[in-house]
Structure 1
């Protein structure tokens, strides 16, 4: 099991909308993530910088950001593109974070 962390950027004033959309995450997207080996997926917000910090455990070939070839993920990215910083393909701009410490 690999632990993966990355950060993204939420547009100013979009905290409530981001939370609402994730509270109503599409069942088919949640199923795909779980079937792909993604678990314990959390996203935190630093309100001072609008930085989103994501953490997930991965037991498959890659994390959530590696599922961009699927139609449901492409649809989700487009759905989210108006409230966060994205790439030209609507995927969120993500910056991988290096793990420097872990305690069990």
Structure 2
């Protein structure tokens, strides 16, 4: 099982709405993530907008590709695009950090 951690930056003026959106993620989006192999997926948002994502999956590239093939993910990415400082889509900007320590 791969443990994947990534960083994104939420625009300061959209943090509250970002939290609200994630308090009510669409049921079909949740189902698609599970079906695509995303497990123990968490997002943490710091007050300055730094977003830390963590998930576990058998194969991150395959899990990301599986989500990219879904219609619900396309809708979600369109709706969420304006929340981030980076210009590329959030799914494309998820660059995994290198794990340097893990306490099993």
TM-score by length of 1: 0.83
Unaligned runs of 5+ in 2: none
Equivalent residue pairs, number: 100
Distance 1:3 1:40, change over 3 A: same
Cα root mean square deviation, aligned: 1.8
Which structure is higher in helix share? 2
TM-score by length of 2: 0.83
* Deviating 4+ runs (over 4 angstroms): none
1:40-73 Cα deviation digits (max 9, x unpaired): 111112223x210100011356476432232111
What does residue range 1-104 of structure 1 map to in structure 2 within 5 Å? 1-48=1-48, 50-60=49-59, 62=61, 65-66=64-65, 67-85=67-85, 86-87=87-88, 91-92=89-90, 93-104=93-104
Please state how far the C-alpha of 1:3 moved relative to its aligned partner. Answer: 0.6
Query: How far apart, CA to CA, are the structure 1 residues paired with 2:33 and 2:17?
Result: 21
